[in-house]
Amino acid sequence: MENDDAIDRLNAKAYSSNTARKFYDRRGQLYPPERLIFDRLRPLLTGKRLLDIGVGGGRTTPFLLEIKSRLQRDRLLTTAGGCC
């Protein structure tokens, strides 16, 4: 358990850094497989509530918002806060 806490602290420090935020801040860009998945699932998900866990830098957030309302949760609110 102590190791888990140490790992969580190290991950939180790394992923909340400005460097990590800049790395993940690639709005407007989906990888081709992601685009395919979004396009195929859009008819099934349109109008539904979505729960997006572990949004990280929020790169896919704009595309999920196009589908409809959604909820987001991330352990590092400073990272997720930059996504919307």
Residue 83 in this model has a pLDDT that exceeds 80:
no
Question: Would you say the pTM of this structure is higher than 0.85?
Answer: no
What is the domain range of residue 63? 2-83
pLDDT at 40: 93
**Do the beta carbons of residue 27 and residue 53 sit within 8 Å?**
no
Number of domains comprising the chain? 1
**Do the beta carbons of residue 45 and residue 63 sit within 8 Å?**
no
Q: Which tokens sit at 45?
A: 């998900």
